[in-house]
Amino acid sequence: MFSKILIANRGEVALRVIRACKELGIRTVAVYSQPDINSLHVKFADEAICIGSAASANSYLNIPSIISAAEITDVEAIHPGYGFLAEDAHFAEICESCKIKFIGPTPDNMRRMGDKMAAKDSAKKAGVPTIPGSKTIIKTNEEALKVAKEMGYPVIIKAAAGGGGKGMRVCHNDVRLVSALLTAQREAEAAFGNPAVYIEKFIEQPRHIEIQILGDTYGHIIHLGERDCTIQRRHQKLIEETPSPMLDSKLRKKMGEAAVKCAKSIGYVNAGTIEFLLDAKKNFYFMEMNTRIQVEHPITEMVTGIDLIKEQIRITSGEKIPYKQDDIKFEGSAIECRINAEDPDHDFMPSPGKITTMNVPGGRGVRLDTHAYCGYEISPYYDSMIGKLIVHGKNRTDAISICKRALDEFIIEPIKTTIPFHKKVMNNPAFLRGKFSTDFIEKLFEKAE
């Protein structure tokens, strides 16, 4: 096992990794940008090194600075958290060449899944259902029209280098398709430096269901069930839950096995997530794979009792995963609410600033992952997440009741937060019934106006 790890991240996830390290008896090195000097990850790490100024490009994305910090402090491994360098194959290679272990998948794993068409192809070859669509990149209007005619409208244009919704366009007819092709290509070029797009049949009112997987360096891969991430706004997840109200144990097993097949087909190592779309008839389709630990990983930890960050570290240090698929048991129901410094009454506008009052919820079934505290300033330089409220109950109804009372205890002032939004959702009839799709938030705000 490692004796010292550097965490190449900030905020709640940096703290999350430090906590796992402490429990494993591993010393930690934090890196931080100048404005982050008062962050808890700096306070709770054994050592901390300033790696640059506020802009991410100068600090949390600054590979030479991070590698220098790792060499000065003589760490054996780097945990990248999520975002920043977590899915950067080049960074993982540099770590390797400096004899520092990258806590995550191999550079080859990341490259294979980073290209969305290649990823889809891998899934298809592994025998996993994929969304019908073009087999190649679409360059011309003629190609686009031909594919749309074959599949029938509506169709969706997606960026090949993309993911996460950027460069996407839904089209209902030929005229819209032709104009959307050019804008999608331009948007893809601007966002990813690559204008390549492809076309798929558009699945209407789907659910976003993802499967957590873990693979070790000996080729042993298991899944840890699903997370239902259907409640999103502009491709930002706001609420995640497990188990999904849409899945029974039979479908869970089928999707879990499909996810493991995908991961095995590319020799996947470490923690990863396979995203699926589930249509109204409960057909599931591979969408993409995230080659990192995700923001919403705690809900899986709550129902399985497995610490995913510790497993990531153990896998990287060469240990075998100590469980077989049948050892994984799911207990109760967990929900995560993302607490962002955003104003839900004004189009979720960012609301950075200093927190002068903060009362955090606790009690039975409550977990709070946050780097914020009374006196902490939410910086305008980074994402607006203040923390995550994670609740765990014996079933969905129980989890919702814990969530409601925890939200009532949660006070953050004077900045605006998503707490009132979550309170509203926890009382929404469609949410309570578990019957909703990816347009849930749009519909919620339509009604109010």
| Beta partners for residue 290, in sequence order | 273
Nearest distance, CB of residue 96 and ligand MV4, angstroms? 29
Select the span of 199-207, 256-264, 310-318, 343-351 touching ligand MV4 (CB under 6 A): 199-207
Q: Can residue 131 be called a binding residue for ligand MV4 (CB under 6 A)?
A: yes
Cβ atoms of residues 436 and 280 within 8 Å? no
Q: Can residue 163 be called a binding residue for ligand MV4 (CB under 6 A)?
A: yes
Helix axes 107-114, 116-125, angle to 10 degrees: 100
Applying CB under 6 A, which of residues 438, 440, 441, 444 lies at the interface with ligand MV4?
Answer: 438
Q: Which residues of 107-127 are buried (b: 16+ CB within 10 A; e: fewer)?
A: bebbbbbbebbebbebbeebe
Measured from the CB atom, the residue of 102 and 198 that comes closer to ligand MV4 is 198
Measured from the CB atom, the residue of 243 and 393 that comes closer to ligand MV4 is 243
217: closest CA among 85, 320, 99, 113?
A: 320
252 catalytic? Reply is no
Q: Can residue 165 be called a binding residue for ligand MV4 (CB under 6 A)?
A: yes
Residue 416 has a CB neighbour count (10 Å cut-off) of 22
Q: Can residue 388 be called a binding residue for ligand MV4 (CB under 6 A)?
A: no
Burial class (CB in 10 A: 0-12, 13-18, 19+), 441: buried
Q: Can residue 117 be called a binding residue for ligand MV4 (CB under 6 A)?
A: no
Measured from the CB atom, the residue of 233 and 422 that comes closer to ligand MV4 is 233
Applying CB under 6 A, which of residues 208, 227, 252, 292 lies at the interface with ligand MV4?
Answer: 208
Q: Rounded distance, CA 341 to CA 418, Å?
A: 7
DSSP state letters, 92-145: HHHHHHTT-EESS--HHHHHHHHSHHHHHHHHHHTT--B--B-SS---SHHHHH
| Beta partners for residue 357, in sequence order | 413
Nearest distance, CB of residue 38 and ligand MV4, angstroms? 35
Tokens read off for 129 = 């259902």
Burial class (CB in 10 A: 0-12, 13-18, 19+), 145: middle
Q: Can residue 232 be called a binding residue for ligand MV4 (CB under 6 A)?
A: yes
Applying CB under 6 A, which of residues 287, 289, 308, 391 lies at the interface with ligand MV4?
Answer: 287
Q: Can residue 160 be called a binding residue for ligand MV4 (CB under 6 A)?
A: no
Q: Can residue 210 be called a binding residue for ligand MV4 (CB under 6 A)?
A: no
Q: Can residue 290 be called a binding residue for ligand MV4 (CB under 6 A)?
A: no
Q: Can residue 129 be called a binding residue for ligand MV4 (CB under 6 A)?
A: no
Query: Which residues have CB under 8 Å from 444's CB, separation 6+?
Result: 424, 425, 428
Site string for ligand MV4, 76-115 (x = CB under 6 A): ----------------------------------------
Q: Are strands 155-159 and 169-171 parallel, antiparallel or unpaired?
A: antiparallel
Cβ atoms of residues 184 and 169 within 8 Å? yes
Tokens read off for 101 = 């272990």
Nearest distance, CB of residue 328 and ligand MV4, angstroms? 25
Q: Can residue 172 be called a binding residue for ligand MV4 (CB under 6 A)?
A: no
Select the span of 200-208, 365-373, 412-420, 441-449 touching ligand MV4 (CB under 6 A): 200-208
Query: Which residues have CB under 8 Å from 261's CB, separation 6+?
Result: 126, 127, 128
Applying CB under 6 A, which of residues 81, 195, 206, 215 lies at the interface with ligand MV4?
Answer: 206
What end-to-end distance do the CA atoms of the chain give, in Å? 56
Nearest distance, CB of residue 162 and ligand MV4, angstroms? 8
Applying CB under 6 A, which of residues 21, 156, 161, 278 lies at the interface with ligand MV4?
Answer: 156
Select the span of 25-33, 100-108, 156-164, 219-227 touching ligand MV4 (CB under 6 A): 156-164
Q: Can residue 355 be called a binding residue for ligand MV4 (CB under 6 A)?
A: no
Measured from the CB atom, the residue of 134 and 384 that comes closer to ligand MV4 is 134
Q: Can residue 177 be called a binding residue for ligand MV4 (CB under 6 A)?
A: no
Nearest distance, CB of residue 203 and ligand MV4, angstroms? 4
Query: Which residues have CB under 8 Å from 62's CB, separation 6+?
Result: 51, 52
Measured from the CB atom, the residue of 91 and 276 that comes closer to ligand MV4 is 276
The one catalytic residue in 16, 227, 252, 292 is 292
Applying CB under 6 A, which of residues 102, 198, 202, 410 lies at the interface with ligand MV4?
Answer: 202
Measured from the CB atom, the residue of 64 and 165 that comes closer to ligand MV4 is 165
What number of chain residues touch ligand MV4 (CB under 6 A)?
A: 17
Cβ atoms of residues 355 and 253 within 8 Å? no
Q: Are strands 284-290 and 221-233 parallel, antiparallel or unpaired?
A: unpaired
Binding residues for ligand MV4, rule: CB under 6 A, are: 131, 156, 163-165, 200-203, 206, 208, 232, 235, 277, 287-288, 438
> Which residues are catalytically annotated?
292
